[in-house]
Chain A
Amino acid sequence: MNKLVTWGNELYTGKRSYPFTSKHRLWFAIAGALVILSILIPVVKGGFNLGIDFRGGSEFTVSGVQNTDIKIGEEAVTSVASGSEATVTNIAQNTMRVQTERLSDDETLEIARALADGYQVQAKEVTSNFIGPTWGQDVSRQALVGLVAFVVLVGLLMAVYFRTWKMSLAAIVGLFVVIIVTAGIYSISGFEITPSAIIGFLTILSYSLYDTVVVFDKVRENTKDFTKQSRRSFEQLVNLAVNQTLVRSINTSVVAVLPVASILFIGSYMLGAGTLKDLSLALFVGIIISALSTLFVQAPLYQWLRRNDADVAEHTKSIAQA
């Protein structure tokens, strides 16, 4: 603790300082490269691994299975609907997942029964899930509506609160960096895109801006009346603010990531695929990227946007001369 607190002190007084704003070109270049990669990789890989909710189809989960032979599941499906492809996976201990193309209601119920017989479990251990072909689109469309509505509203909220639209703009540009990079990493992981993952992405929106607001509030405080002092330039004041809130940023990210990591661990270990796992992976990546982006993208970007404002430019010039 001593070292960490001393480190915090030094960041606070400005004795120790990391060049968040002055090296903005480097950070922007890295962020830009990551964004491009995140767009390219899914394209090269041939799109995202869309979950059954987006393809439409039937999905069965059998719990309490002793014999996790994949053949049993495949036979159960073909016995009812011959010719339909079944993907059978052992997703967790004693749990099998069977995915098929879209089946009729009757077939769905019959396969559920056949699976229960085949795996020698009671009928109530079989969970079935039938998804219409438009369900996934429905979810994504609503998510998109939510994204747009949220960005517009939060942009206004921040512009009013901070009384400068440049903070809003910087925050929202950073937000898109976060979303795109998170989606890219998610795609590399090969996890399926499910409605739960979409929930995760939407939460990152909130988390990313939340994190930015805390740092920007300090920036606002430090740069308030910046023209009345001549010790530091505007850029240095922004950088000081980021350094001063660095301990908070680290503590917050750790505290936010710990529970999410525990969901990710439990979700993967105990349940295999499902709501918890997809959601927590998106969040896990998103929280870390959000925290980094606030430091390396949002804050320097705000400073960069303001650099040619009359008051900032004049002040910087007068400091350089002194």
Chain B
Amino acid sequence: MSTTEERMSAQKRMRLARSGTDTVDERLGSSKFLTSVLDKIFPDHWSFMVGEIAMDSLIVLIITGIYLALFYVPSSKEVVYAPTSGHVYIPLVGQRMSEAYQSVINISFNVRFGLIMRQAHHWAALIFLAAVFFHMARIFFTGAFRKPREMNWIIGLLLWQIVALEGFTGYSLPDDLLSGTGLRVIYSIVESIPFVGTWLVYALWGGRFPGTSLIPRLFVVHEFLFPLLIIGLLTAHLMILWHQKHTDFPGPGKTETNIRGSRIWPQYALKAGGLMMLVAAVIFLLAGFVQINPVWIYGPYHPYTISAGAQPDWYLGWQDGAVRLWPHFEFRSFGHEIANPFFPGLLMPGILLNIMFAWPWIDKKIYKDYGPHNLLDRPRDKPFRTGVGVAAVVFFVVLTMASGSDILANNLHVSYEAIIVILDYLAVLGPLAGFVIAYKACQRLSQTDFHPIQRPVGGVIYRTPDGGYHTVGDVHHGPSHDVPADAGANGGHNGTASHAEGHVDETVPAPTAGD
């Protein structure tokens, strides 16, 4: 029991807290709202943290980005590298380069902690996109996009697109050889758009490639326009999440109408804060130990130079891979042409993206399920959806590999042509094979209720013709998870309880003793 002293100090703390909340309440009447905020519950499954990792990387990006913007010079003006003070990168002395490139060299060598901020910024971007992809896959495979959450699926897809563009614009700002080459390819892809392509590139670049307008414009877009859109859409994303409350996997005691997890205060606040610190720790350790984008080695961009091994950052690899794999086809007729890069660079991603936007409604039609859901699907219970998702992931992986086809050919000692032919076949057949394998695997898993990485819980309960029950295959000997005898009928709002509790099958006749 607590001592008198402890009770006194607890009362004192309470009075202090009261004076704080009362001060606010007298102005805003916020006590009821604040209680609901502090008491709010988030479910605890590990896969729900991935979106948080994306948000934490964004925070690191904003802070390091503001720091870098204080030193970066967004100018295409040509200068000759001859630093007046501080450290000099000797191999570049006397070379012609843009002022932008020179300022990045300066951030790397002449600003103390500038290099670590640059590398942290780039690593954070790569981790951000990785978290976005993982988060998107989690949402897809568990059916979290279903009603009432279609809106957040749409906002999430928009965020992915803008974040990828934000990454690309940032990658292009140093105006080094690698990113300049990337811009040349993007120019050609935009130029290939039917009807308006040349108008668009002339508007964006202010004339013919490369021009001097683009770098300052990229800076405005990267520093202002896209961050504004990202923060706006993310706010909407989180407000909708907050209002609708998080989904959760089915499990003991969980229903469509309740939610199980940790309270925001103090559990989630500390955990989310701790996770943010850990994400920052990983980013800065990478920034210290693993070099990224050493632009001083690539050299400044000139339209007549290039180096082998020109790859974009990994999250755009799939589009670059598609451009590499697309055959030498273009459409020419009536004195006009639709140039080659349009098909793999814009048409294919555009079609895929539209299917992704429409997926919540396609899914409704497939499963004839128009109702709202708070409990998630297990991927195995929706073999078709999981198959489509696996096919998409395989397609993505093959195209990303194609983006590094020259590196693959070099390291595997296979001719470049052979790699491309293999990947061409893989890009078509791989997703089909992925679909079939995933579909069959889901069906089998769903039938056996075997979990590939966890010991099965429960077992198969058979009802004998005379009305009795017995269990087969219950190898679970841990702390008791009660398997209710009427697992199939436990509760009006919990149609999926049987997933967690074991499989109930009333149609299978009683097994013989030999089973």
- Chain B binds chain A: no
